[in-house]
Amino acid sequence: MECMDDLPDALNRLATRLEILERRVYALEHPSDVSNALPALEPAQAQGFPTGEEHPFPVAGGAFPVLGRAMLGIAGAYLLRAVTEASSLPKLGIAALAIAYAMLWLVWATRSPAGAWFASMAYACTSALILAPMLWELTLRFKILPASATAGVLGAFVCAASALAWKRNLTSVFWVANMTAVTVALALLITTHEIAPFIAVLLLMVLLCEYAAARNRGPSVRPLVAAAADMAIWALIFIYSSPQSARVDYPLLGTPALLAPGFTLFLIYGASVTLKTTVLQLKITAFETVQTMIAFLLAASSLLYFEPRGGATVLGAFCLVLSAASYTAVFVFFLRAAEPRNERVYANWSAALFLAGALMCLPPLWMAMWLSAGAIAATVLGIRLNWPALEFHGMAYLLAAAIASGLFDYVFQAFAGTLSGAPAWSMCVVTACAVLCCVARKPRQAETWKQQLFDLVTASVEIAATAALLVEGLAWLTALRVNPGAHHLAFIRTLTICAAALALAFSGAHWRRMELTRIGYATLVLVAAKLVFEDLRHGHLEFIAASIFLFAITLIAVPRIARMGQRI
């Protein structure tokens, strides 16, 4: 009776074991459904049923069978090579068959079961190992494919890999395809001396990578492809900018063909960055910032090297247009955004493009006028919008305008060299611009060091220019009575600097402009050095005594005048 009572339990255990065996067999025969089968196997795991996490390779089909299939694929490639070398069949047909054979392995890589990353990577590598040596020999040894056709095959390979791997976002397939194409393109670019076709395929890869990155697919491969395209375009510029005698093995290319790669690369990255930051409202990355600048420099170098007659003017105008567009993007999209990186990057690009454009397409006198106007506009807008970066741009434009007009050289000659006479009208414009920038600034509490630097530099330009004009004016008045000598000039300079120090101390105290007070103290050091190196060496005794007297009075008066502002 007891045996009869145990019979139902024994039958249940037997049925359970049969069910476990059926599930094991199903999992081995249908690995693609293992993810659906695993939840149903949880009760059986207590009986010792192995899961896919414990044994990933058997569930994925096994590592050794995958490697075996890959080796069979490579053996087939060697067979096709032997047929190409020994057979009398049309070699072009065999080459097409071999390329299709490599593509079939790429398709197999994207058709591997979900989770079988090892098989997908192995089959993709098999496709690459078949295609890369095959294209090398078909192009260089057998000379069946011209360089343009080889570049077309590489482009088709990358496009096919991207399309096949897109739906499942197979990063390994993206990487293998792009690394293979980059390596083969650069190698054949060097050996065949056919640069243009392989640059074209690299630009196609750049475009695909940017599109994939915008859709959040395979962004990690972008730096590799970008670096390859940069190197290829740089090689084009370097080789074709050399004399014709140094590149007799390279085919002749017209100016449009030489300009197109650099501008295409810049167009791709410029459009990509603009769409991501303005339309998609994404933060610009460090890679995108650096790569866009590299692409612009390559395009600019192409224009300057291959269109030397009017290239600088065209590039300068292009820089000014880009600067205006970048400033517009800052005001419209980024000025009050929570993430400040886009604003900073675009603002710095705008300033650099504005300076570069003025330098390349404007003569010095008009460049000083243009930069002066830009300094006033940037300063006023920066103050009204409470945007310190724009005020800093105004300072940079003012310094550039002073350099372009020759103002700094004029100031140096007025205080340490031979007087230059009446200043050019551009120097007067820059001086007036500096005055307006200083007037536009209002003293504010708790200024940052950038704002203090702006105040100091702007005021220094204004004061130095005004003092130089005063020295020239006093020397001209002295020349009406006597022929001024070195001692007269030394005394005039001392008088001017001491007067400037007193005026600065008073202005800083009266209007609470600390930058003026600081410059006033700095001028005292300048007067002391001047007494030693000029007045004591070239002055007469009476003029030396007068200079020392002025310096002493200034030393006493400047601190007292400066303290007046603290008591108000």
Domain boundary among 455, 479, 503: 479
Q: CA-CA distances (angstroms) from residue 328 to 321, 323, 334, 343, 349?
A: 11, 9, 10, 11, 12
- Three-state secondary-structure class, residue 174: helix
Domain boundary among 479, 510, 533: 479
- Say what the pLDDT of residue 268 is: 97
* Whether the Cβ atoms of residue 522 and residue 504 lie closer than 8 Å to each other: no
Report the C-alpha gap between 82 and 396 in whole angstroms.
Answer: 68
- Say what the pLDDT of residue 44 is: 39
Comparing C-alpha atoms, which of 230, 382, 367 is closest to residue 295? Answer: 230
* Whether the Cβ atoms of residue 95 and residue 133 lie closer than 8 Å to each other: no
**Residue 256 class from Cβ within 10 Å (0-12 exposed, 13-18 middle, 19+ buried)?**
exposed
Q: Is residue 205 in some structural domain?
A: no
State whether 525 and 492 are in the same domain.
yes
State whether 456 and 370 are in the same domain.
yes
Report the C-alpha gap between 237 and 255 in whole angstroms.
Answer: 12
Domain boundary among 479, 505, 534: 479
State whether 462 and 413 are in the same domain.
yes
Report the C-alpha gap between 44 and 27 in whole angstroms.
Answer: 13
First to last CA, the chain: 116
- Say what the pLDDT of residue 211 is: 92
- Say what the pLDDT of residue 73 is: 79
Contacts of residue 99, Cβ cutoff 8 Å, sequence gap at least 6: 131, 134, 153
243 phi and psi angles, rounded to 5 deg: -60, 155
State whether 397 and 502 are in the same domain.
no
What is the domain extent for residue 345? 317-359
* Whether the Cβ atoms of residue 227 and residue 179 lie closer than 8 Å to each other: no
Within the chain, which residues score under 50 in pLDDT? 1-4, 7, 34-61
Cα 325 off chain centre by: 17
* Whether the Cβ atoms of residue 233 and residue 265 lie closer than 8 Å to each other: yes
* Whether the Cβ atoms of residue 565 and residue 510 lie closer than 8 Å to each other: yes
Global confidence as pTM: 0.79
State whether 373 and 469 are in the same domain.
yes
Comparing C-alpha atoms, which of 283, 378, 289, 377 is closest to residue 333? Answer: 283
- Three-state secondary-structure class, residue 49: coil
Q: Is residue 538 in some structural domain?
A: yes
Q: Is residue 251 in some structural domain?
A: no
Q: Is residue 561 in some structural domain?
A: yes
Comparing C-alpha atoms, which of 144, 162, 64, 58 is closest to residue 106? Answer: 162
Q: Is residue 352 in some structural domain?
A: yes
Q: Is residue 196 in some structural domain?
A: no
Cα 153 off chain centre by: 31
- Say what the pLDDT of residue 8 is: 54
State whether 501 and 474 are in the same domain.
no
545 phi and psi angles, rounded to 5 deg: -60, -40
Contacts of residue 371, Cβ cutoff 8 Å, sequence gap at least 6: 355, 358, 397, 398, 400, 401, 404
Tokens 């990355």, residue?
Answer: 285
Q: Is residue 548 in some structural domain?
A: yes
Tokens 């009075």, residue?
Answer: 553
Report the C-alpha gap between 347 and 328 in whole angstroms.
Answer: 10
**Residue 432 class from Cβ within 10 Å (0-12 exposed, 13-18 middle, 19+ buried)?**
middle
* Whether the Cβ atoms of residue 95 and residue 84 lie closer than 8 Å to each other: yes
**Residue 57 class from Cβ within 10 Å (0-12 exposed, 13-18 middle, 19+ buried)?**
middle
State whether 472 and 551 are in the same domain.
no
State whether 27 and 41 are in the same domain.
yes
Task: Quick: pLDDT tens for 120-138.
Answer: 888 889 999 999 999 998 8
Contacts of residue 292, Cβ cutoff 8 Å, sequence gap at least 6: 266, 269, 270, 273
DSSP annotation string for 118-172: HHHHHHHHHHHHHHHHHHHIIIIIS--S-HHHHHHHHHHHHHHHHHHHHTTT-HH
State whether 408 and 505 are in the same domain.
no
Cα 127 off chain centre by: 35
The tally of domains found in the chain comes to: 4
Q: Is residue 464 in some structural domain?
A: yes
State whether 438 and 457 are in the same domain.
yes
The number of CA neighbours under 13 Å toward the Cβ of 194 is: 17
Contacts of residue 158, Cβ cutoff 8 Å, sequence gap at least 6: 177, 178, 181, 201, 204, 205, 208
- Say what the pLDDT of residue 451 is: 66
- Three-state secondary-structure class, residue 145: coil
Comparing C-alpha atoms, which of 546, 371, 522, 409 is closest to residue 459? Answer: 522
State whether 367 and 353 are in the same domain.
no
State whether 407 and 324 are in the same domain.
no
Amino acid present at 437 = C
Amino acid present at 324 = A
